[in-house]
Amino acid sequence: MITIGVEEEYLLVDPDTCLPVPLGERVRAAAGLEPILDDQEVQSELLQAQVEVATPVCTDLEEVGGHLLRLRHAVGTAAEKNGCRIAACGTAPFREAVPVPVTEKARYLAMRSQAPQLVAEQLVNGMHVHAAVPDRAMGVAVMNRVRVWLPVLVAMSANSPLWDGHDTGFASWRTVIFGRWAVSGPPPQFADPGDHEARIRRLLDSGVITDTGQLYWQARLSDRYPTIEVRCADVQLRADSAVMFAGIVRAMIATAIREEKEGAPVPQCPPELLQAANWHAARHGLSGLLVDPEGVSRRAGDVLCRLLDALTPALDETGDSREVTSLVHRLLQEGTPADRQRRVLAEGGLPALTDLLVTETVAP
């Protein structure tokens, strides 16, 4: 059984204006008083209008869902005590002219010196799934195999269409914002673990990045844990959608491990095509065509069916097939969270959008 853990980032917003509020430390402190929370489960983020939560290591999806609901409720309660709310949206829909202050940590302050405008606009929230791998050699092999599916996950998870009070035209504007960092987007293919380490060392030696935390690839090996971290998804509006992605990612990792052990060919996709597929997924979400792992444009529903077909053995093995499949079908019927944000804003304006974000984030 492959263990998994999930990290989520939330925005702190004013309940009336939906503007970001720099109350991260106060919310973290208030959340830390909850007896149901561990010290490491609620963490600071780059900007003071954000908080991050991290589940413990989990063995099944029911456990993931329980922890996410517990953490969302505890942080949401702490936010209310401080006059704000948490919103699980991939971007801040509205911003003020004055940038949100950076959290007072040496690493974050150094990032602001390095790229002040990028940091000022880093009001973006993601969902990261850590899945255990036996060793770094297998981790590199897994990354080579799952990279071709990352644009599909970007499209499925799209939850960031709004920025500065207007529709960007993109389903995942967060993906575009993150793509401006020096090392970002889908990871390259590596020849072997030695090639992986050597290329990272060259990046560090260049001085362009200062630590491996600035490897913003959408999938990467963790330095702290024996895991591969899939980090391409926007944070999900609902906790059960996050559970769906946790199940999909675990099944992807399990499938890649099995294929590697069986000696199956590694999927090939030129980096320029993979980058184009990623941009296309961020632009359109599930509203039109998707570029599949072979580089062929197909209907989004057909690509998702193909993904589920590929993952079925792994999902069956963990008993996750029914839950994940039903949630994927709901996604195809209702659309992405980006679609929901657009519909609600068009129908009810700012009050309805704010209500959607703050209500769904803590919904059971």
Residue 273 lies in a domain: yes
Residue 355 lies in a domain: no
Positions in the chain short of pLDDT 70: 39
Q: Which structural domain, as residue segments, surrounds residue 106?
A: 4-346
Q: How many domains does the chain have?
A: 1
What pLDDT was estimated at residue 34? 73
Question: Which residue has tokens 């090639």?
Answer: 195
What pLDDT was estimated at residue 35? 75
CA angle 197, 200, 201 (to 5 degrees): 85
**How many CB atoms are closer than 10 A to CB 268?**
12
Q: In degrees rounded to 5, what are phi and psi of residue 23?
A: -120, 25
CA distance 364 to 172: 25
Residue 339 lies in a domain: yes
What pLDDT was estimated at residue 33? 72
61 in Cβ contact with 320 (< 8 Å): yes
What pLDDT was estimated at residue 37? 77
Nearest to 114 by CA among 31, 203, 209: 209
How many angstroms from the chain centroid is the CA of residue 32? 24
What pLDDT was estimated at residue 13? 98
Residue 170 lies in a domain: yes
56 in Cβ contact with 37 (< 8 Å): no
What pLDDT was estimated at residue 224? 85
CATH number where 170 lies = 3.30.590.20
Q: In degrees rounded to 5, what are phi and psi of residue 56?
A: -65, 175
CA distance 3 to 249: 11
Residue 309 lies in a domain: yes
